[in-house]
Structure formats: C-alpha cells, structure tokens
Amino acid sequence: MTSRPGLGVPLTSASNPRIRAAIALRDRRGRESSGLTLVDGARELRRAIDAGVEIVEAFVCEPMLAGPDARVVLDALQKGGAPVHATSEAAFGRLAFGDRAEGFVAVVRSPSLGLDRLKLGPDPLVLVVESVEKPGNLGAILRSADGAGVDAVIAASPRTDLFNPNVIRASAGTVFSVPLASAPSEDVLAWLRTSGVRIVAARVDGASAYTDTDLRGSLAIALGTEADGLTETWRVPDVEAVHVPMRGVADSLNVSVTAAILAYESRRQREGHRDPAD
C-alpha cells in the first residue's frame, strides 16, 4: 500500500502524548475513567465502524496493512472525520497488542450497556451470562451468539469489563454487532420477567436434558461460571433448569461451548427441523 498524503508525517515516538493516552486504555482503570477502549485489528475495527461505534482517533501503521479489510477500513476512517495518525512501526509496536499487529489500533467510545438499550422483537432468543470473568470466554460466547443469530447477550454481574480489548479481539468484533447489555443479576432477572421472557438455566444438575426441552418462543438461556455455576438468584420456581449430557469423564463443558450448543439447538427447534431420517 503506498503512502497517502492524508495521513501526514508518522508519529515515531512511543512517548507521544496521543500514543501514551491510548496505551493507558490497556488498563481497566484507564478505560473506566475515560469511557473509551481500544480496537485492535482490521476485521474488528471494520465491525465497530459498521455498527456505528464512535471512533475517537485511530493509529495506522501503513507498512503493516494487508488483507481485504485494510483498504475498506482506511477509507472509512478517513471519511469518518476522526483524527487518523500515521504511526511508525516502532511506535505502533508499543501500542498494539501481542501478535495481532495488523496495522490498525483505534480509540473508540465504549457503547452504553443499560438494559433499556435492548429492544426485543417477537420470540427473542437471549443469552444471559453470569459472573463471567475471562475476556476470552465472553468473546467466544459473543462470537457464537452472532453465528446463532441470538437477539441479545446480557452479562449479569460480570467480573470483567465488557469492552476489554481482549473481549473485542476474542469476539472477532461481534461485541459491537450483537445487542449487548449488563446489569446486576437481580436486575436482569426482574427485567426478563417484566419483558415476559421465559428463562431456562443451564445447570449440571438440571432436571431435563436440553434436547427434551422446548427452546422456542420468547426465551432467555442463563449460564453461570464453570467453577460455581449460576448463583442462587436463578434458583427460583419460574426458572427451569436443563443440563447438557456429559458422557465422558469430565463434569462440565467450557461455558462458551455450552452457550453455543444451547443457542444452536434453540435455532434448530425454531426452524421446525424434523430429524433427517423422518
């Protein structure tokens, strides 16, 4: 990719105040005090732009640009009006995360996460993930939720910030496209009840197998942590517990795998599939 006059003289020093301010967003306190976060990678940034996320500024290392998304993202950034800083490879290396150096790091405003931002249509399929701690797990859940066409993901009492750059990366940018909200577990339960959404909880000791459970209609599937499962908040009469059969030596699946199996089974049932041999 040839140099473009629009990007100007590259920033070459990692002590540049813009770069230092961006690096501070790798830290949770830096993100919480500013309401900003970092997006690494062309694919992720493209999905943020497509979702209408506010780009505050972007750092571009032109020698590293490659792949089909790079030109599209660069054009969108330049049209968008936020400052785009050409950045030397050395300075970019300090700013970018790990091995994911695709030539783009952007500072973006973290979208709001109130339950009131969710607008559910008829018969919504919602995933509730309680106490999620590992950014990689939350990102994987979002990516599977995107694939399964889940209508909303709600993080109940999360133990990570949802726009942690590692969530963004693990979600392949779908954290911006999947409708997402966060609230304490009690508030999530109350909101689902008010919204008339039936709730099914995934528990290792759930009475029914998920395949014997009707997962159609207006439904939220609630998942807890691998170590402790869902809290007692969800052990109430109007929440039905289901389990995913474990046929081997281990006693549980990864939470993102459980989420994917349940969401895809719900989709399968909704589409009225009959067994192929019928």
Q: Which residues bind a second copy (CB under 8 A)?
A: 47, 50, 140, 143-149, 172-174, 177-178, 211-216, 244-250, 252-254, 256-257, 260-261, 264-265, 267-269, 271-277
How far is it, in rounded angstroms, from Cα 278 to Cα 270?
18
Q: At residue 200, what is the residue type?
A: V
8 Å CB contact between 163 and 110: yes
Q: Angle between the 135-148 and 255-270 helix axes, to the nearest 10 degrees?
A: 10
| CA-CA-CA-CA dihedral for 43, 45, 51, 54, to nearest 10 | 180
Which one, 85 or 169, has the nearer CB to a second copy? 169
Which one, 18 or 268, has the nearer CB to a second copy? 268
Which one, 7 or 253, has the nearer CB to a second copy? 253
How far is it, in rounded angstroms, from Cα 155 to Cα 180?
8
Specify the 3-state DSSP secondary structure of 77.
helix
Host H or E run for residue 274: none
Order of all β-strands in the sheet with 104-109: 36-40, 104-109, 55-60, 84-86
Which one, 133 or 186, has the nearer CB to a second copy? 133
Host H or E run for residue 221: strand 219-223
Which one, 21 or 72, has the nearer CB to a second copy? 72
Give the N- to C-terminal CA distance of the chain in Å, as an integer: 55
Which one, 94 or 267, has the nearer CB to a second copy? 267
Quickly tell me which residue has 């006059």 as its tokens. Answer: 5
Which one, 90 or 207, has the nearer CB to a second copy? 207
- Provide, rounded to whole angstroms, the least separation between the CB of residue 229 and a second copy: 16
8 Å CB contact between 197 and 240: no
Which one, 231 or 252, has the nearer CB to a second copy? 252
- Provide, rounded to whole angstroms, the least separation between the CB of residue 272 and a second copy: 8
- Provide, rounded to whole angstroms, the least separation between the CB of residue 122 and a second copy: 16
Specify the 3-state DSSP secondary structure of 206.
coil
- Provide, rounded to whole angstroms, the least separation between the CB of residue 33 and a second copy: 28
What distances in angstroms separate CA 67 from CA 50, 102, 131, 175, 268, one per listed residue? 18, 9, 37, 22, 34
